A = this chain, B = another copy of it.
Amino acid sequence: MLRIITQISEAEAEIQRICNRTHDDQVIHKEATVREVLQFVKRNGDSAVLSYTAEFDQQTLTPEDLRVSAAELDIAYQQVPKDLLDAIRLARRQIEAFHQQRKPKSWVQFPGQDVVLGKRFTPVDRAGLYVPGGRAAYPSTVLMNAIPALVAGVPRRVMVTPPGPDKSINPAVLVAAQEAGVEEIYRVGGAQAIAALAYGTETIPKVDIISGPGNIYVTLAKKLVYGTVGIDSLAGPSEVLIIADSTANPSHVAVDLLAQAEHDPLAAALLITPDATLAQKVVLEVNRQLEHHPRRVLTEKSIAHYGLVIVVETLEQAAELSNAFAPEHLELEVANPWDLLESIRHAGAIFLGANTPEAVGDYLAGPNHTLPTSGAARYASALGVETFMKHSSLIQYSAEALSEVADAIQILADAEGLPSHRDSVRLRIQRSS
Contacts and interface: CB of A to CB of B under 8 A. Distances in A.
Interface string A372-406: 10101111111000000011111111110110010
Contacts of A413: 359, 363
A226 B229 contact: no
A122 B380 CA distance: 10
A60 interface: no
Contacts of A366: 111, 117
A412 B83 CA distance: 9
Contacts of A30: none
**Identical copies in the complex:** 2
A168 interface: no
A69 interface: no
Contacts of A261: 420
Given A122-B345, A139-B412, A412-B91, A357 B226 contact: no
Contacts of A428: 252, 354-355, 357
A181 interface: no
A335 interface: no
B397 A427 contact: no
Contact of A262 (B229, B353, B421): B421
Contact of A418 (B84, B119, B259, B381): B259
A249 interface: yes
Contacts of A119: 102, 367
A363 to B, nearest CB: 5
B86 A408 contact: yes
A125 B409 contact: no
A350 B285 CA distance: 60
A405 B93 CA distance: 13
A355 B395 contact: no
Interface in A147-176: 172
A48 interface: no
Interface residues of A, number: 120
A351 interface: yes
B424 A344 contact: no
B355 A412 contact: no
Contacts of A122: 345-346
Contact of A401 (B139, B355, B381): B355
Contact of A140 (B359, B364, B412): B412
A420 B293 contact: yes
Contact of A420 (B228, B289, B401, B431): B289
A17 interface: no
A209 interface: yes
A259 B394 contact: no
A337 interface: yes
A232 to B, nearest CB: 10
A138 interface: yes
B350 A398 contact: no
Given A256-B424, A377-B390, A379-B124, A395 B351 contact: yes
B125 A345 contact: yes
Interface string A9-31: 00000000000000100000000
Of A116, A228, A337, A393, which is in contact with the most chain B CB atoms at under 10 Å from its CB?
A393
A411 B234 contact: no
A410 B115 CA distance: 56
B352 A394 contact: yes
Given A223-B226, A348-B392, A360-B395, 7 more contacts: A87-B409, A87-B411, A91-B412, A119-B367, A139-B412, A349-B394, A351-B395
19 contacts: A83-B411, A84-B412, A84-B415, A87-B411, A87-B415, A262-B418, A351-B395, A352-B394, A355-B401, A355-B432, A356-B396, A356-B397, A359-B425, A360-B397, A360-B402, A363-B413, A367-B393, A367-B394, A382-B391
